[in-house]
Amino acid sequence: MSEKTCFTLDHSELPKQWYNVAADMPNPAQPPLHPGTGQPVGPDDLAPLFPMDLILQEVSQERWIDIPPEVLDIYSMWRPTPLYRARRLEKALGTPAKIYYKYEGGSPAGSHKPNTAVPQAYYNKKAGIKKIATETGAGQWGSALSFAAQMFGLEALVYMVKVSYYQKPYRRSMMQCWGGKVLASPSDTTQIGKKILAQNPDSPGSLGIAISEAVEVAASNSDTNYSLGSVLSHVLLHQSVIGLEAEKQMKLAGDYPDVVIGCCGGGSNFAGISNAFVKNKIAGKDTRIVAVEPASCPTLTKGIYSYDFGDTGQMTPLLAAHTLGHDFVPPSIHAGGLRYHSVASQTSQLMLDGIIEAAAYPQVECFEAAVTFCRAEGIIPAPESSHAIRQAIVEAMKAKEEGKERTILFNLSGHGHFDMTAYDHYFAGDLVDDHMDEAGVEKALAAIAQLPKPAGYTGKPTRV
Ligand SMILES: *Cc1c(COP(=O)(O)O)cnc(C)c1O
C-alpha cells in the first residue's frame, strides 16, 4: 500500500455533478458588460452564439449541476483519470515532500479540453444546432471540439490561425480524423476574413482574427453556434470533474494537499484541479492554491484588473479580469495555450480575494522541469503543463530546504506528443526567455483607458 503510485477510481465513481464555485465565492465575479450600452449582458445577447443551457450555466448560482447521462457516457471513455504519486520524481529531487499529479493527457485529444468540449457539443445538439464554429491557435481546442462534435454527430468548423495551420500540420490532421473542417484564418469565408486579406493577402492570422471569423459565422447562421474552450464560467464548471476526482483520490492515498497547482492560460484547467479545494478552503481548510503562468504573458502577476475585451477585434462583451490589454501580443513561446492576454473572471475574483495566488516563470526553466519530470515519471508533458511542474518542483525544493513534509498536488493538463519541435529547440539550446517588458503595464493601462472599471479596480497589478 505505501508504495502505491497510481490511484484510480472505479467507473461508478465518475462525478455525477459538476461543482459551481460561484455558489461559494465570498464575492461574485463581476458580470460581463455589453460594449455598446455598458449594461450587463443578458441571455438574449448571447442567444445567437450559445445554446440556452450553457447560457444558464454561465450565470448559475447553483452549487451542484447534474451532468447529463449522454455526457457521462462519453466522459467514461477516459474518465475517471488517474492520480499518480510521483515517487520517482520525489526521489530524484531528494525531497521530503509528497508530490501528486492528476493526469488529463489520457483523453482522446490528449488534454483536459474534452471535459468541456463534450458537454458543449451535447447542449448544442440538444438545442437543434447542426454546426459549431470555433477558433484554434496551436490546435488543442480545435481537436477537442472536433472529437466532441463527432461524438454527437455535429459538424465542427475550426478557424485555425494561418501560421499554425502550416506549422502544426499534425494537429490539423487530428481535427480531420474526427471529421472537423479546418480553415486557415484569415479565410475568404467571412466578411472580416475577406477584409483582412484585401488589406494584407499574406496575413499570418491571429487568435483575435480567428475568433472574429468564428463568431461572425455563428451570428449569421441560425443552425450554427460558437464555442469557447476556456475563460467562461461554464467552461470552468465543466472542468470541475478534475478536482472532484482528485479530492476522492487524495483520500484514497490518505493525504490532503498543502498546495494545489495548475498552469494558467484562460484558467480552465487551473480551476478544474483547484475549485474542489477552493470550496474546502472557503469552508476553513488551510491550502495554498497557485496559478502558474509564463513570464512572457504574466496576466495574474502583472496584469491590471479591469473590464476589457476578450479579443483583439473588440467584438466580445467586456469581461472583468486581470488583463495585459486586448491588443497585447505575447512573444511566440511554445506553451501556446498560455498566450492569452486575460483570464477567467472567476479566477481574477478569487485572486483579488486572496483565495488563490499566482506565480510566473520563463520557459527555459519550465522545459528543464518538464525534462526532469519525464526522466523520472515517464510522461512527456505539454509545454503548458510544464509551468505547473516547475512550481511543484519549487515547492518540493523549499520543503527540502526547510526539512519539512509538504503534500503537493498539481494538474498535468496534457501530454506533449505534438510539441516535440518545442523540445527540439530546448535540447538545441536555442529557446529564448522572454519577459514582458517594463512598458507592459503602461500598455495594458492604455488599452483599457476608455473602458468601464469594475469594483476592485486599482490601476495597479494585484501582487508582484
Ligand atoms: C489549452 C491548454 C492549457 C491552457 O488553457 P487553460 O484554459 O488555462 O487550462 C493548458 N494545458 C494544456 C495541455 C492545454 O491544451
- 140 CA closest ligand 1 atom index: 15
pLDDT for residue 464 = 52
Residue 55, in any domain of the structure: no
- Angstrom distances, CA of residue 132 to CA of 56, 68, 164, 224, 340: 19, 20, 20, 5, 22
* Distance from residue 112's CA to the centre of ligand 1 (Å): 7
**Using only C-alpha atoms, what is the Rg of the chain?**
21
**Cβ count within 10 A of residue 450:** 6
Q: How far is the CA of 198 from the centre of ligand 1 (A)?
A: 33
Q: What is the pLDDT of residue 168?
A: 86
- pTM attached to this predicted model: 0.97
Q: Which amino acid type is present at position 367? A: F
Q: Is residue 336 part of a domain?
A: yes
Nearest CA to ligand 1 atom 7: 268
The answer to whether residue 264 sits within a structural domain is yes
In a domain, 2, yes or no: no
Question: Domain range spanning residue 420?
Answer: 69-110+234-446
For a mutational test of ligand 1's pocket, the pick from 384, 386, 390, i.e. the residue with the most ligand atoms closer than 8 A to its C-beta, is 384
Question: Is 37 domain-assigned?
Answer: no
216: left (phi over 0), alpha (psi -120 to 50) or beta: alpha
Q: Hey, which residues does 273 pair with through a beta bridge?
A: none
Mutate to test the pocket of ligand 1, among 161, 174, 230, 379 (most ligand atoms within 8 A of CB): 230
The verdict on the CB of residue 239 being under 6 Å from ligand 1 is no
Q: How far is the CA of 202 from the centre of ligand 1 (A)?
A: 29
Question: Is residue 269 included in any domain, yes or no?
Answer: yes
Pocket lining: 143 vs ligand 1, CB cutoff 6 Å? no
> Is 311 a domain residue?
yes
Cβ of residue 231 lying under 6 Å from some atom of ligand 1: no
Q: Which residue has the least CA distance to atom 5 on ligand 1?
A: 265
Q: At what angle do helices 191-199 and 207-220 cross, to 10 degrees?
A: 140
User: Does ligand 1 come within 6 angstroms of the Cβ of 266?
Assistant: yes
Cα 1 to ligand 1 centroid, rounded to whole Å: 33
Task: Note whether 289 and 357 are within 8 A (CB).
Answer: yes
CB 257 within 8 A of CB 277: yes
User: What's the rounded Cα separation, in Å, for the pair 65 and 80?
Assistant: 18
Ligand 1, from 101, 107, 113, 241: best to mutate by most atoms within 8 Å of Cβ? 113
- CATH number of the structural domain spanning residue 94: 3.40.50.1100
- Joined together, the cell numbers standing for residue 195 give 477584409
| pLDDT at site 411 | 98
Q: Specify if 239 maps to a domain.
A: yes
Cα–Cα dist 297/74, whole Å = 34
Residue 276 Cβ contacting ligand 1 at under 6 Å: no
Report which protein residue has its CA nearest ligand 1's atom 8: 265
pLDDT confidence of residue 335: 80
Domain count, the chain: 1
Can you tell me the distance from the alpha carbon of 22 to that of 161, in angstroms, rounded to the nearest whole number?
33
Per-residue pLDDT of the chain (464 residues; tens, 9 = 90+): 458 999 999 999 999 999 999 999 999 999 999 999 999 999 999 999 999 999 999 999 999 999 999 999 999 999 999 999 999 999 999 999 999 999 999 999 999 999 999 999 999 999 999 999 999 988 999 999 999 999 999 999 999 999 889 988 999 999 999 999 999 999 999 999 999 999 999 988 888 889 989 999 999 999 999 999 999 999 999 999 999 999 999 999 999 999 999 999 999 999 999 999 999 999 999 999 999 999 999 999 999 999 999 887 788 899 999 999 998 888 777 887 888 899 999 999 999 999 999 999 999 999 999 999 999 999 999 999 999 999 999 999 999 999 999 999 999 999 999 999 999 999 999 998 878 877 888 888 899 999 999 999 999 999 75
* Ligand 1 in reach of 330 Cβ (< 6 A): no
